[in-house]
Amino acid sequence: MKIFKLQQSGQSSYRIFAIRLFCLLSYLSVYWPHAGFCQDHSRTDIEMVFTSDAHYAITRKKFRGDTNVDGHIVNAAMIGQINTVPGLTLPVDEGVAGGQKVDAVDYLIQTGDIANRMEIPYQSAAASWAQFTTDYMQNVTLTARDGRAAKLLLAPGNHDITNALGFYRPMLPKTDPTAMVQIYNLMLHPSTPKTNADYNYETDKINYSLSIHGIHFMFITLWPDSVERIWMQKDLDTVGAKTPVIVLCHDQPTCEAKHFTNPVAPHDINAKSKFENLVSEYYKEGTTAPGDDGATDIEQRGWVKFLKQHPNIKAYFHGNSNWNEFYVYKGPDNDVALNTFRVDSPMKGKYSAKDETKLSFQLISLDPVKQLLTVRECLWDTDPANPSTKIVFGAVKTVSLKVD
């Protein structure tokens, strides 16, 4: 590097130093584009990676030429691809930051089913949590625009909760609340951390919120039932009516009938009724849990009423029923419209479990100034024979977060 030499006549040494420093900074701004002072500080977009349903303990039938591949291997491969998001150029579209390079990822979001249900012969929740920690904490290299590590945001899934409560089929061990305890401690930061011995699901729900540049994010336990809505109302009372709110949880807006609490005394978990008692609200439409498509219309109407009371709830993100889909939740009576984003699972995707080229996570781009949200599908295994293949962008949707 060559910096031109100044004649010193009539100039102070301080002025010479200042001019030479200016020259050095000018040189670096051209030839060292990753220097901190060269970042585009005019950008206001916030980037978030969203995934769900890691399901450690089970295997994929096929992955990159191998069969019966352990969840630890598959999730580690996905994290490897997530780490490449900074540096990708977003598609030239009408979405937030369209056509620009991703220079940082501020948050990594995972909405549950970290540990698969411990039905024999699957491993314990503690073993699954240890693998999750390796992949999603130790091996993530994402950094925010301020240089700090991307913040991990978690919500529990039905399998995580079941491992803490027990199930009507045999599990080994019978209960293991490790995942729930660890998520609780990481997200709620209690002054006295919870332990497996003193964790109580009835009182230790994983509900928290944070505001990101004027957009309010609410993470709740499983689904917004009547009990969760009590906490949600108290939280919403702390933000303005014009503040956009985004809800993130595990279950889809319709929930699953079997996740509700057994309506028949003594309201236990048993093989006859097959309710799982994950949602505190009693099921109102029968005395035995219906299948995957069981009616939840009565339960949903309470949720829809809440949405009408809070029109600033503008978007909803979930896992559980696993495939990439951007849709509008309209309620059982078609009288509400909530922009909803369903994400794929690396292990149990409805479509990607059969066709690994459909494996995906989502990149959420948020413009808090314009109050716009863009979600882009990130296909991360489009060429299984060549794991180094770059991420391919798939579906995209942009929605306004402005409150009328």
pLDDT single digits (tens) 255-285:
999 999 999 999 999 999 999 999 999 999 9
What per-residue confidence (pLDDT) applies to 1?
Answer: 39
Mean pLDDT of 184-191: 98
| Residue 110 · residue 135 · CB < 8 Å | no
What per-residue confidence (pLDDT) applies to 234?
Answer: 98
Whether residue 22 is predicted with pLDDT greater than 90 in this model: the reply is: no
pLDDT tens across 115-159, in order?
999 999 999 999 999 999 999 999 999 999 999 999 999 999 999
Distance CA(279)–CA(261), nearest Å, equals 6
| Residue 274 · residue 258 · CB < 8 Å | yes
| pLDDT category of residue 292 using cuts at 50, 70 and 90 | confident
What per-residue confidence (pLDDT) applies to 15?
Answer: 54
What per-residue confidence (pLDDT) applies to 291?
Answer: 81
Q: Which of 109, 373, 329 is nearest to 219 (CA)?
A: 109
Mean pLDDT of 167-181: 98
Distance CA(24)–CA(180), nearest Å, equals 52
Q: What is the pTM of this model?
A: 0.89
Return left, alpha or beta for 78; rule: phi > 0 is left, psi -120 to 50 is alpha, else beta.
alpha
Distance CA(319)–CA(321), nearest Å, equals 6
| pLDDT category of residue 3 using cuts at 50, 70 and 90 | very low
The label of the residue with tokens 């809505």 reads 229
Collapsed DSSP state (helix, strand, coil) of residue 182: helix
What per-residue confidence (pLDDT) applies to 293?
Answer: 79
| Residue 268 · residue 275 · CB < 8 Å | no
Q: To the nearest whole percent, how much of the chain has pLDDT over 70? A: 90
The label of the residue with tokens 């609490």 reads 261
| pLDDT category of residue 41 using cuts at 50, 70 and 90 | low
Mean pLDDT of 358-387: 97
Whether residue 11 is predicted with pLDDT greater than 50 in this model: the reply is: no
What per-residue confidence (pLDDT) applies to 26?
Answer: 42
Whether residue 113 is predicted with pLDDT greater than 80 in this model: the reply is: yes
| pLDDT category of residue 42 using cuts at 50, 70 and 90 | low
pLDDT tens across 378-401, in order?
999 999 999 999 999 999 999 999
What per-residue confidence (pLDDT) applies to 165?
Answer: 98
